[in-house]
Amino acid sequence: MTVRVLGFDDLDSRTAYALWRLRQQVFVVEQQSPYPDLDGRDLEPATRHVLATDGSADDQELVGCLRVLDDGTCARIGRVVVAPAARGRGLARELMDAAMAEIGGREIRLDAQTGLSDWYARYSFEVSGPEFVEDGVAHLPMRRAQAE
């Protein structure tokens, strides 16, 4: 498996297509949560896409991804997804490790699906507000304070 961190302009067209297809496959189809995935934030110059691919050098398959946004005073992690066939191999951990390294000591915010809040707590995220439902899925806002 290979993990890469890329800006939008560094994504070739096939990789961008695979990214959007994977997010659609999991969030919209599997989780039955229709939402406006193409929100414009993928295109922002500071956005970083953390991609996990598997396979031979000639045939890489996207098996997981997340994106890191710059929200001004903090970074925001979102769209964390692992392909169903690739789950249970620690890919989400690999993606988060790469994202955390990319962000460094900045404050980070994310909206965790409620059932995953304990998993994010392993990265020092703490619940920062009440549970809310977004696109039919319960979430908790979480925050990791800026490193001092």
What is the per-residue pLDDT for 109?
97
- SS3 category, 92: helix
In the chain, the domains with their CATH numbers are: 2-104 (3.40.630.30)
**What's the N-to-C CA distance of the chain in angstroms?**
33
pLDDT at 118: 96
Question: Cα dist. 55→5, 10, 30, 51 in Å?
Answer: 18, 20, 24, 13
pLDDT by 10s per residue, the chain, length 148: 899 999 999 999 999 999 999 999 999 999 998 888 999 999 999 999 999 999 776 778 999 999 999 999 999 999 999 999 999 999 999 999 999 999 999 999 999 999 999 999 999 999 999 999 998 899 999 999 998 7
* CB neighbour list of residue 37: distance below 8 Å, 6 or more residues apart: 20, 23, 24, 27, 28, 79
Residues for the chain: how many in total?
Answer: 148
| pLDDT reported for residue 12 | 94
Look at residue 60 in the predicted model and tell me its pLDDT: 85
**Neighbouring residues of 63: CB distance < 8 A, sequence distance ≥ 6:** 1, 52, 53, 54, 82, 83, 85, 86, 91
> What whole-number distance in Å separates Cα of residue 33 and Cα of residue 36?
10
